[in-house]
Amino acid sequence: MSEVVLKGLKKVYDNKVTAVHDVNLEIKDKEFIVLVGPSGCGKSTTLRMVAGLEEISDGELYIDGKLVNDVPPKDRDIAMVFQNYALYPHKTVYDNLAFALKLRKEPKDVIDKKVREVAEILDITQYLKRKPKALSGGQRQRVAIGRAMVRDPKVFLMDEPLSNLDAKLRNQMRAEIIKLRSRINTTFMYVTHDQTEAMTLGDRIVIMKDGYVNQIGTPQEVFNKPVNLFVAGFIGMPVMNFFDHCQVLLENGKYYAQIRGVKFLLDDFQQKALAQNNVQPCEIVAGIRPQHVTVGEGELTAKIEVSEMMGSEYNIHARSGDDEVVMLIPTVDLTADVSMGKTINFTTRPSLIQLFDRESGNNLIWYDAESAAKDAPVCKRYDF
Partner 1 sequence: METKAAKPAAPAKVRAPKKRMTKEKRIRYFKDNSPYLLMILPAVIVVFLFNYLPIYGVLIAFQDFMPGDKILSDSTIWVGFENFERFFSDPQFWPLMKFVIGFPLPIIVSLMLNAMKGRKTAKVLQTIFNGPHFISLVVLVGMLTLFFGRYGLVNNIAAHFGGERYSYFLESSAFRPMYILSSNWQDFGWSAIIYIAALSNVDPQQHEAAILDGATRFQRVIHVDLPAIMPMVSVMLIMSIGGLMGVGYEKALLMQTDGNLAVSELISTYVYKRGLTGVPDQAYATAIGLFNSIINVVLLIIANTTSKKFSENSLW
For partner 1, which is the closer residue by CB, 12 or 86? Answer: 86
Sheet strands (E) in 252-322: 254-259, 262-265, 282-288, 294-309, 313-320
Alpha carbons 247 and 358: distance in angstroms, whole number: 10
From the CB of 128, what's the least distance to partner 1, in Å? 10
Query: Does residue 123 come out as left (phi exceeding 0), alpha (psi in the -120 to 50 range) or beta?
Result: left
Of 47 and 227, the one with the shorter C-beta distance to partner 1 is: 47
Segment contacting partner 1 by CB under 8 A, of 125-133, 233-241, 305-313, 326-334: 125-133
Phi, psi at 258, each rounded to 5°: -110, 115
Q: Quick one: which of 130, 181, 303, 319 contacts partner 1 (CB under 8 A)?
A: 130
**Is residue 14 within 8 Å of 55, Cβ to Cβ?**
no
83 touches partner 1 (CB under 8 A): yes
Distance between CA atoms of residues 243 and 356, nearest Å = 10
Q: Which of 82, 116, 200, 342 binds partner 1 (CB under 8 A)?
A: 82
Of the candidates 129, 254, 349, 381, which one interacts with partner 1 according to CB under 8 A? Answer: 129
8 Å CB contact between 96 and 147: yes
Size of the site for partner 1 (CB under 8 A): 28
Count other C-beta atoms under 10 Å from residue 272's C-beta. Answer: 13
**Number of residues assigned to the chain:** 384
Is residue 84 involved in binding partner 1 (CB under 8 A)? yes
Provide the mask over 59-78, with x wherever binding to partner 1 is found by CB under 8 A and - wherever it is not. --------------xx---x
Residues 86-105 close enough to bind partner 1 by CB under 8 A = 86-91, 99-100, 103-104
Question: Contact residues for partner 1 (CB under 8 A)?
Answer: 51-53, 73-74, 78-80, 82-84, 86-91, 99-100, 103-104, 129-131, 133-134, 147, 151
